[in-house]
């Protein structure tokens, strides 16, 4: 047993000695590599002064191979930048991001580079990549704030246009109604309709000056004609379309069967709720045509496409004040308002109080105090507000991210928003998507 113990002890001593020896050798080798890298950098800088640029790249690349540090990568990247080798500059910085994900140098440099190239999407994506690694600097914050809401103006000179729905926007041009897609190509270039509704589904309604009323598909082909003449035919939303004849409103299905009505007014069905007017009073109805709750109202707020219920909260007017109700007609909160704008896809709606506009959430709590001359509800993280006679856009932190410069403005959808400038409606398009 003693012999076995002695043998084990000797083996352990030998292993330890071997490990220490290897470690010492590795340490010496590492120091030598660092010295060689410094020498490569020194020679590279000498060749750079002499204009031997091929040698510069070789020396700086050797330094990276010997000692792959942030400084050595950045030295090569800056050299490429100085020689306008943009592709190599970008690739070197991208390699830095992969190798040193917690260092801000490459993130800042790439974000600044993309900004200078007007590649705003890539610029913001780089800031977001840094954020995902919990890398935050003042410079990155500054780049984000300067470029997140960068935009350009696009579009023709429309006399009216609305926000996008299902990839299309409704425009009026030379007294005719059209739909345009996100590239602003005319959907119905060859056909002129008296009325044309947006696509809430794959089918919408049109009327013509010949007295025709029919549904069309997204390929602009006539799908089904009505035997009755409607002065207005809406788009099918949740299987129902608003149709008007003889100044009376009906809901029709996809076969033109008049399901509900007549009413003095009817709004687009959304989230299985719509607003109707009957005997001079407004009501909420469900998808089955049943009146919701026991109350009637003096008014129900609608958006540009006659929708009252983009979310589960609706603004209704009673006793000269607006308040919020849910889809069952039950009151939401106790707050009342002088005026209001329906909720869009965000949880902040514009409301008027004491002559000024602010914002509340879907529980009625004030999020942004009333300070604006006019306002629209939040959509895509932005809200149009009027300040000092012009419209701009704020974010959810009440920061003016698109400065007031427009005579009128509407909601952002699909990264585009209608604006009125120089007497015509156009669009502003964000250069960075959500």
Task: Supply the pLDDT for residue 19.
Answer: 46
* 277, pLDDT greater than 50: yes
Taking residues 392-418, report their average pLDDT.
Answer: 96
Residue 166 DSSP code: T
- Over residues 168-215, the pLDDT tens digits come to 999 988 878 889 988 998 887 777 788 888 899 989 999 988 889 999
* 21, pLDDT greater than 50: no
Tokens for 221, please give them.
């082909």
| Distance set, CA 409 to CA 160, 231, 294, 370, 424 (Å) | 11, 29, 37, 19, 12
Cβ distance 268 to 274 under 8 Å?
Answer: yes
Task: Supply the pLDDT for residue 220.
Answer: 82
* 16, pLDDT greater than 50: no
Report the share of the chain in percent with pLDDT over 90.
80
Alpha-carbon distance of 247 to 230, in angstroms, equals 9
Taking residues 367-395, report their average pLDDT.
Answer: 97
- Over residues 57-78, the pLDDT tens digits come to 999 999 999 999 999 999 999 9
* 8, pLDDT greater than 60: no
* 13, pLDDT greater than 50: no
CA angle 320–322–323, rounded 5-degree value = 135
Residue 331 DSSP code: E
First to last CA, the chain: 74
Taking residues 260-287, report their average pLDDT.
Answer: 97
Alpha-carbon distance of 341 to 27, in angstroms, equals 70
Task: Supply the pLDDT for residue 294.
Answer: 86
């Amino acid at each position: 047993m003693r012999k076995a113990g002695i043998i084990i002890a000797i083996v352990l001593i030998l292993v330890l000695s071997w490990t220490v020896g290897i470690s010492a050798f590795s340490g010496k080798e590492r120091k030598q590599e660092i010295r060689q890298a410094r020498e490569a950098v020194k020679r590279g800088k000498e060749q750079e002064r002499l204009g031997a640029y091929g040698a510069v790249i070789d020396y700086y690349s050797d330094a990276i191979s010997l000692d792959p540090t942030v400084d050595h990568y950045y030295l090569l990247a800056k050299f490429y930048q100085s020689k306008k080798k943009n592709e190599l500059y970008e690739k070197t910085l991208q390699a830095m991001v992969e190798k040193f994900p917690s260092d801000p140098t490459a993130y800042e440099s790439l974000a600044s580079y993309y900004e200078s190239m007007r590649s705003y999407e890539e610029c913001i994506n780089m800031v977001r990549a840094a954020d995902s690694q919990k890398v935050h600097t003042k410079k990155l914050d500054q780049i984000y704030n300067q470029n997140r809401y960068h935009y350009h103006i696009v579009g023709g000179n429309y006399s009216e246009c609305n926000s996008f729905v299902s990839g299309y926007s409704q425009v009026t041009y030379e007294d005719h109604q059209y739909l345009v897609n996100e590239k602003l190509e005319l959907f119905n270039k060859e056909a002129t309709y008296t009325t044309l509704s947006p696509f809430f589904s794959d089918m919408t309604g049109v009327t013509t000056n010949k007295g025709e009323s029919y549904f069309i598909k997204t390929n602009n082909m006539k799908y089904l004609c009505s035997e009755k003449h409607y002065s207005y035919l809406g788009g099918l939303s949740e299987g129902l379309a608003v149709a008007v004849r003889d100044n009376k409103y009906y809901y029709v299905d996809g076969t033109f069967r008049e399901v509900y009505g007549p009413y003095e007014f009817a709004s687009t069905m959304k989230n299985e709720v719509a607003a109707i007017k009957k005997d001079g009073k407004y009501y909420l109805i469900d998808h089955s045509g049943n009146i919701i709750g026991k109350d009637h109202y003096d008014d129900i707020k609608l958006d540009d496409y006659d929708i009252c219920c983009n979310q589960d909260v609706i603004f209704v007017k009673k006793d000269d004040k607006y308040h919020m109700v849910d889809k069952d007609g039950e009151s939401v909160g106790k707050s009342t308002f002088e005026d209001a704008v329906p909720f869009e896809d965000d949880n902040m709606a514009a409301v008027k109080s004491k002559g000024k506009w602010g914002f509340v959430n879907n529980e009625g709590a004030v999020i942004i105090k009333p300070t604006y001359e006019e306002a629209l509800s939040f959509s895509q993280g932005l809200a149009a507000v009027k300040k000092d006679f012009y419209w701009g856009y704020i974010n959810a932190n009440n920061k003016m991210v698109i400065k007031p410069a427009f005579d009128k403005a509407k909601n952002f959808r699909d990264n585009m928003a209608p604006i009125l400038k120089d007497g015509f409606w156009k669009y502003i398009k964000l250069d960075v998507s959500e």
